[in-house]
Amino acid sequence: MKLQIEGAIYGGAGLAHQTDGESISVPFVLPGELVEVDIRHKRKNFEEASLLRVLKDSEDRVQPTCIHFGECGGCQYQHSQYPAQLKMKESILQETLEHAGLKTLPVIQSHTASPWAYRNRVRLRLEEVGSTLRAGYNRRGTNEFLAIQECPITAPLLWRAAQSLLQVAAENPASRRWLSNAVEIEFFTTGDEKKLQMTVLVRKDQPGLAALCERMRRFVPELVGAGSALLKRAGPQRQIQKPRPLENWGTRGLSYQVGNEDYWVSRGGFFQVNRFLIDELIRIVATNRQGLLAWDLYAGVGLFSRALTNGFQQVVAVEAAGADLINSFKGAGRRAVESTTVEFLRKAVVQRERPQLIVMDPPRAGVGAEVCSLLAKVLSPQIVYVSCDPVTLARDLKLLVDVGYRLDELHLVDLFPQTFHLETIVVLSR
């Protein structure tokens, strides 16, 4: 059937309607385009279609940069000029928040950097194709392996490291045998691409990682540390098994410099993925904020905590997996707490603590109803909420607005160009 694409929806697809009002989502289209589609799946409230051809192009349509676009599950927007990608994300953010009942919204302020080669981390599958070891991703919409030849959204060092690993496997039988038990490989680099960490996820423990790394350093001298982790399959979900440490080589993490600060990131630890926009995140969250006490909840390695010490007499950084944070966030006016946010807030409510500022950067699931309820009892005059999921963000913001907070600033930070993912920073006050 022929459809007119009306707009973009979260997840990367375009939205259209049949004459009977039924909603249809179509991938790889742009607002305003006339397309021909084939209905593939019928859901409860909408239908999913596959794109057959574009009958009338948008002026924003471009040739994708990556040869794997459309097959690979990683990117959704490479067929669009970058300014149009940003416009779609702004529209999606606005509509998602309004749909949750947030009618009075600040103007969205967008923040961007280079839309290519921005990722400081990549995780690839390893599979034998014929008799050759290949690296790749999942084919779009499946768990099927897709061998790739390039990934232009990653820092060049990451793909060079992946190619070097495959070259070592091809040239050295011992390395090839060792990698035959590898399932996935992850590389993480500093923003300037001067240092690299590698994690190999394997089916069984085995010696030989050090020899592999020494061979890789001939091609990738930036490699400073590596480790292996046991990966077992438990039904449809993969779980990393951590009953005992496997082999390590070199350093166990990286010192990642942002501005004048160095952050120790252990191998496998979370850090913001866009190497070009971390400074901007810190500026929006922490610059020109001051007071006696600030809390940084879901603090990670303390990305925002350190910046907050410039304006606050005391900063408390809270992180459930807080080993790195406790070791690095020390000194006068700094306190690191290894705790879940909800446990920390329960105690804080009893002790009647009241910071002037609360910063929250939760995982994709958001903070949830109980945390919002506890925040309503703490009554901090200002909250800065950093979110990577507009749906859970909208849910949480509605709960906070209902207990008396108002939305003062709304920032879209495009940490994930070429994909549907977006980062949002919201400043709330009472």
Task: Please write the tens of the pLDDT for every residue from 332-352.
Answer: 999 999 999 999 999 999 999
Residue 150, pLDDT above cutoff 70: yes
Angle at 303 between CA 301 and CA 306, to 5 degrees: 105
Output the six-digit token pair for 406.
């108002």
**409 assigned to some structural domain:** yes
- pLDDT, tens digit, 9 for 90 and up, residues 66-111: 999 999 999 999 999 999 999 999 999 999 999 999 989 999 999 9
Measured at the CA of 24, the angle between CA 20 and CA 27, to 5 degrees, comes to 155
User: 405 and 327 in one domain?
Assistant: yes
Query: At which of 193, 228, 257 does a domain end?
Result: 257
> Token digits for 282?
């810190």
- If asked whether residues 337 and 382 sit together in one domain, one would say yes
Alpha-carbon span 122 to 119, nearest angstrom? 7
Question: Rounded to 5 degrees, what angle do the CA atoms 50, 56, 60 make?
Answer: 90
Question: What does the alpha-carbon distance between residue 213 and residue 207 come to, in Å, rounded to a whole number?
Answer: 12
How confident is the model over 270-281, as pLDDT tens digits?
999 999 999 999
Specify the pLDDT at position 324. 86
C-alpha to C-alpha distance for 349 and 363, rounded to whole angstroms: 23
Domain that holds residue 227: 121-257
143 and 210, same structural domain? yes
> Are 159 and 210 within one domain?
yes
**Is 398 among the domain residues?**
yes
The answer on pLDDT for 240 being more than 50 is no
Single-letter amino acid code for the residue at 197:
Q
pLDDT band at 241 (very low <50, low <70, confident <90, very high): very low
* Percentage above 70 pLDDT, the chain: 97
Same domain, 250 and 279: no
Which CATH number do you get for residue 398?
3.40.50.150
Element housing 48 (H / E): strand 46-56
How many angstroms separate the CA atoms of 82 and 88, rounded? 10
Strands 312-319 and 334-338: parallel
- Reduced to 3 states (helix: H, G, I; strand: E, B; else coil), residue 173 is helix
Residue 243 sits in the same domain as residue 140: yes
Same domain, 287 and 406: yes
pLDDT exceeds cutoff 80 at 244 = no
- In tens, the pLDDT along 107-127 reads 999 999 999 999 999 999 999
CATH number at residue 28: 2.40.50.140
CATH number of the domain within which 198 lies:
2.40.50.1070
CB 44, CB 65: distance < 8 Å: no
Q: Measured between alpha carbons, how far is 376 from 103 in angstroms, rounded to an integer? A: 21
Per-residue pLDDT reduced to its tens digit, 15-68 = 999 888 889 999 999 999 999 999 988 877 789 999 999 999 999 999 999 999
Q: Is residue 392 part of a domain?
A: yes
82 belongs to a structural domain: no
Q: Are residues 346 and 203 part of one domain? A: no
pLDDT more than 90, % of the chain: 89
Tens of pLDDT, residue by residue over 351-360, are 999 999 999 9
Q: Which pLDDT belongs to residue 219?
A: 96
Residue-wise pLDDT tens digits, 320-335: 998 889 989 999 999 9
Name the band, by pLDDT with cuts 50, 70 and 90, for residue 233.
Answer: low
Residue 20: the pLDDT is: 80
Say if residue 199 is in the same domain as residue 326: no
- As a whole number of Å, the end-to-end CA separation of the chain is 51
Nearest CA-CA partner of 261 in 319, 311, 196, 328: 328
Residues 252 and 312 in one domain: no
Number of domains comprising the chain: 3
pLDDT at 234 over 80: no
Q: Are residues 412 and 285 in the same domain?
A: yes
More confident residue, 231 or 76: 76
Domain end position, chosen among 203, 223, 257: 257
420 and 375 in contact (C-beta within 8 Å)? no
Mean pLDDT along residues 276-301: 97
282 and 139 in a common domain: no
267 found inside a domain = no
